[in-house]
């Protein structure tokens, strides 16, 4: 099945900094999603982005499907951006999302 690798695994930044999170995948995809799990455990869908670029406030995402990667950009980080960011690039044959291991982001005040 498809392999998913997220990098970096951990990232610690000061408030106000910018960051780029990467998701590499081993096969073609057509429904990549980015999620944020906050420190209280809630999972929020950030982007559905099988290709191209989308922006939502300080967050944006780009997927280059032909090169098998997606990037999540966070600008002017705030402490509320802390948490784990998951990439889920595809569904398997049992109709389950395939998840990356996540990038744990800590934003220090």
Partner 1 sequence: EAQVTQNPRYLITVTGKKLTVTCSQNMNHEYMSWYRQDPGLGLRQIYYSMNVEVTDKGDVPEGYKVSRKEKRNFPLILESPSPNQTSLYFCASSPQVEETQYFGPGTRLLVL
Query: Given the rule CB under 8 A, which residues bind partner 1?
Result: 30-31, 33, 35, 41-45, 48, 86, 88, 91, 94-97, 99, 101-102
* Shortest distance (Å) from residue 66 CB to partner 1: 20
Decide: residue 75, CB within 10 A, 0-12 exposed, 13-18 middle, 19+ buried.
middle
Q: What are the strands, taking DSSP E only, across 15-82?
A: 19-25, 33-37, 43-48, 52-56, 59-64, 69-74
Nearer to partner 1, 12 or 101 (CB): 101
- The CA-based diameter of the chain, rounded to the nearest angstrom, is 43
* Shortest distance (Å) from residue 37 CB to partner 1: 9
* Shortest distance (Å) from residue 52 CB to partner 1: 15
Nearer to partner 1, 38 or 76 (CB): 38
């Amino acid at each position: 099945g498809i392999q998913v690798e997220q990098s970096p695994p951990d990232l610690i930044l000061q408030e106000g900094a910018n960051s780029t999170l990467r998701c590499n995948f081993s096969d073609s995809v057509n429904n990549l999603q980015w999620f944020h799990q906050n420190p209280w455990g809630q999972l929020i869908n950030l982007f559905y982005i099988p290709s191209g670029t989308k922006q939502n406030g300080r967050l944006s995402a780009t997927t280059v499907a032909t090169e098998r990667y997606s990037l999540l950009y966070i600008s002017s980080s705030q402490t509320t951006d802390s948490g784990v960011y998951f990439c889920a690039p595809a569904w398997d044959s049992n109709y389950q999302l395939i998840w990356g291991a996540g990038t744990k982001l800590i934003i220090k005040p």
